[in-house]
């Protein structure tokens, strides 16, 4: 069967099973990966300035997401919040390193690195919060 635009797999997607159980957090995660997909499409054939703007917009969304997520984790009394905040700071440093790589002309690699880092964080850290969200400890 031929691959059409409708059936072509998206380069960046959130794996099944990575929902944390908060509509706000899961919604942000879905939007982040949709933004990465949009960025990959927008960067094709566009100049450095467009690619940089698109990437910086994603970093802003990521920073907003981390702040919102930390407020939710604090509200449910998540015991690992201090560690989680540190992980967010490290991930923002990785995101800025990816931006620098993009500015060196490696935008596809920058997007892939950012996507992988975010995915690993969701799987290893965000999913730890599920029991707290399920029990509604707010």
Residue 78 is a binding residue for Fe ion (CB under 5 A): no
110: which residues sit within 8 A by CB, 6+ positions away? 55, 98, 99, 101, 102
Total residues at interface with Fe ion (CB under 5 A): 2
CB of 22 to Fe ion, least distance (A): 9
Round to whole Å and give the CA distance between 44 and 106: 12
Rank residues 39 and 88 by Cβ distance to Fe ion and give the closer one. Answer: 88
Residue 114 is a binding residue for Fe ion (CB under 5 A): no
Rank residues 42 and 85 by Cβ distance to Fe ion and give the closer one. Answer: 85
Q: What's the length of the chain?
A: 138
Residue 107 is a binding residue for Fe ion (CB under 5 A): no
Helices (H) and strands (E) in the chain, counts: 5, 0
Residue 126 is a binding residue for Fe ion (CB under 5 A): yes
Binding footprint of Fe ion on the chain (CB under 5 A): 69, 126
């Amino acid at each position: 069967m031929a691959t059409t635009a409708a059936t072509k797999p998206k380069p960046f997607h959130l794996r099944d099973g990575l929902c944390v159980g908060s509509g706000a957090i899961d919604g942000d995660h879905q939007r982040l990966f949709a933004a990465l997909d949009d960025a990959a499409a927008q960067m094709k054939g566009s100049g450095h300035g467009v690619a940089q703007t698109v990437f910086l917009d994603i970093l802003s969304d990521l920073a907003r997401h981390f702040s919102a997520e930390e407020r939710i984790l604090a509200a449910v009394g998540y015991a690992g919040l201090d560690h989680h905040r540190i992980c967010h700071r490290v991930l923002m440093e990785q995101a800025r390193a990816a931006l620098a790589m993009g500015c060196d002309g490696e935008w596809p690699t920058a997007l892939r690195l950012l996507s992988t880092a975010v995915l690993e964080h969701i799987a290893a850290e965000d999913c730890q919060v599920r029991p707290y969200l399920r029990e509604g400890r707010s």
